[in-house]
Amino acid sequence: MMAKSFHTNGSCDPQLHYMVDLSSRLRDIRKMVDEGKYFTINRARQYGKTTMLAALADYLKDDYSVISMDFQTISHADFETEQSFAAAFAREVLDCAEDIPDDVRAKLELYSSGMVREATLSVLFKALGQLCRESAKKIVLIIDEVDTASNNQVFLGFLAQLRAYYLRRRKTPTFQSVILAGVYDVRNIQRKMNPHENHGQNSPWNIAADFDVEMRFSRADIAGMLEQYDADCHLEMDVEQMAGLLFDYTSGYPFLVSRLCELMDQRIAGTEGFGDKASVWTKPGVLEAVRRLLIEKNTLFESLIGKLNEYPELRKMVYLLLFQGETISYNADDSETDILLMFGFATVENGAVQIANRIFETRLYNYFMTLPEVQSGDMHRLALRNKNQFIQAGRLNMELLLEKFVVHFDDVYGDRGENFVEEDGRRYFMLYLKPIINGIGNYYVEARTRNLERTDLIIDYCGFQYVIEMKVWHGNAYNERGEEQLLGYLDHYHLTRGYMLSFNFNKKKKIGVKEIRLGEKTLIEAVV
């Protein structure tokens, strides 16, 4: 039997690849199918949709006749007219369906030739209705990559036919269930055609039931997958710790979880510091996999950055979330927020929109920090000039880094107003930090503390972590609360040393760096 592996290039096969257990999700979807629901599975790129659909088709096959197709196999030209689309769809049904009655097959073969001028959508659906009536089993239609549809009118006509047969299903034989999967919600399919036009939200797909099945991986999901791997490889890893770390960095985004595991399994063992696989499946191994993932090119990251250029409103919202701590309340009627969620940039937590996971957050920070207009700035140039002195014995000298930042920031921006510092001060510290740790370390913001007053920055560098609280000074009492919160984070990360960076607007302030002892912990506070 072929050895299993982690897999990120296309659909996963449980016989070949390490996967999370999908059985509970499949049972939930099966219940919707049994109830005759029509619904859409809209998730971001590489969110496990295709793998789920393949598993679902196999799960249903004993009780249903499943027609599972992928609109990516239909060319753009096939969506130009009803006739060309009907021909292409007929070909897909002939390829995917089993046990097609001879008279229905003859009709579909005729339509598939594209030579029948009267082969409109309504004519095609009459043949499909006949197929549903004569089939020994009820039919489930699954269409993946449905937003590949490039001609909106033909596609809307297709949806309208599905809707019409659904509404007449008690009198007219039709599909037991229809499942459409893609990134774009069908209601927003017109926005895909031209993102700059203001489109209405009316859609013939208003029959769709809500799809609430959770497709993110939980810690338990990840642990179950790792237990399979550990049993095969005999590594005796701390499965719960590894699952927790992978979840913390990915928030369960399927591709990111699998890609980190793939890097750890196939790329890191045997490299410096990781002599064997057992040494990889540790916290330093996870941090090394995160570092490698964040500097590689892949289709997910390319899509992520491409959407920022395609949708200027997304770029603005992401910038506000990352750098200015803006709280964006979720509003179901706000189209810009809807797009942010649809593309996977963000999730909703406690009624507020936030970046979906640490990996995306860091990649987005890196993107904004490497724009030419940013890298030409004074702080970036000063950090680059002095970067070698901050690395000592393979570790980051945070005290020295803060000391130099205070001096350089005061030299460059000391005469700027309060508003400048409050909006951009933390961004300039990240800009200063970036060239120093670039290629070796990463940083991310603790989402629970990202706001206008306070941000906790976690730095990963060569297997070590550093926690820095960045805040705007609001008096001693507030500062003491910040110290208490920072101590809590040090306990969480099992650290005895933490750092504070305060942006102080008091004219009598004393800039510089000082050490504060609080019990067994040491805090290094820098004031600018």
Helices marked H in 370-508? 372-375, 378-386, 398-413, 418-437, 476-492
Q: 181 φ, ψ to 5°?
A: -125, 140
- Rounded Cα distance between 363 and 377, Å, is 20
DSSP one-letter code for 163: H
| Mean pLDDT, residues 260-267 taken together | 97
Residue pair 297/262 in contact (Cβ under 8 Å)? The answer is no
pLDDT digits (tens, 9 = 90+) for 217-240: 999 999 999 999 999 999 999 999
With a pLDDT cut of 90, the percent of the chain lying above it is 55
pLDDT recorded at residue 2: 64
Q: Is 203's pLDDT higher than 70?
A: no
What does the CA dihedral 212, 214, 215, 220 come to, rounded to 10 degrees?
-170
Mean pLDDT value across the chain:
87
- Rounded Cα distance between 97 and 65, Å, is 7
Domain boundaries, the chain: 23-193, 219-295, 299-358, 371-527
- Rounded Cα distance between 113 and 101, Å, is 19
Q: Is 165's pLDDT higher than 50?
A: yes
Burial of 269 (0-12, 13-18, 19+ CB in 10 A): middle
DSSP one-letter code for 453: S
Residue pair 107/97 in contact (Cβ under 8 Å)? The answer is no
Handedness of CA 158, 161, 167, 172 (dihedral sign): negative
pLDDT recorded at residue 283: 93
CA dist 408 → 294, 380, 399, 528 (Å):
28, 10, 14, 10
pLDDT recorded at residue 502: 85
pLDDT recorded at residue 280: 97
CATH number of this structure's domain 23-193: 3.40.50
Q: How many CB atoms lie within 10 A of CB 327?
A: 13
CA dist 422 → 17, 378, 425, 430 (Å):
49, 19, 6, 14
Check: pTM over 0.85? Answer yes or no: yes
- Rounded Cα distance between 365 and 381, Å, is 18
Backbone Cα Rg of the chain: 27
pLDDT recorded at residue 482: 65
| Mean pLDDT, residues 56-74 taken together | 96
Residue pair 464/489 in contact (Cβ under 8 Å)? The answer is no
Per the listing, tokens 């570092």 go with 291
- Rounded Cα distance between 20 and 24, Å, is 11
The region of weakest confidence among 81-95, 103-117, 277-291 is 103-117
Q: Is 132's pLDDT higher than 90?
A: yes
| Mean pLDDT, residues 446-472 taken together | 76
Burial of 200 (0-12, 13-18, 19+ CB in 10 A): exposed
pLDDT recorded at residue 30: 98
The region of weakest confidence among 288-297, 365-374, 515-524 is 365-374
pLDDT recorded at residue 423: 53
Kindly report the three-state secondary structure assignment for every residue of 301-341.
Answer: HHHHHHHHHHCHHHHHHHHHHHHCCCCEECCCCCHHHHHHH
One-letter identity of residue 274: F
One-letter identity of residue 186: V
Where residue 332 falls (left for φ over 0; alpha for ψ -120 to 50; beta otherwise) is: alpha
Handedness of CA 495, 469, 466, 350 (dihedral sign): positive
The region of weakest confidence among 72-86, 219-233, 448-462 is 448-462
Q: How many CB atoms lie within 10 A of CB 77?
A: 12
- Rounded Cα distance between 314 and 440, Å, is 29
Candidates 457, 186, 161, 180; CA nearest to 342 is: 186
pLDDT digits (tens, 9 = 90+) for 387-420: 889 988 889 999 999 999 999 988 887 766 555 5
User: What is the H or E stretch that residue 69 is in?
Assistant: strand 65-70
pLDDT recorded at residue 417: 56
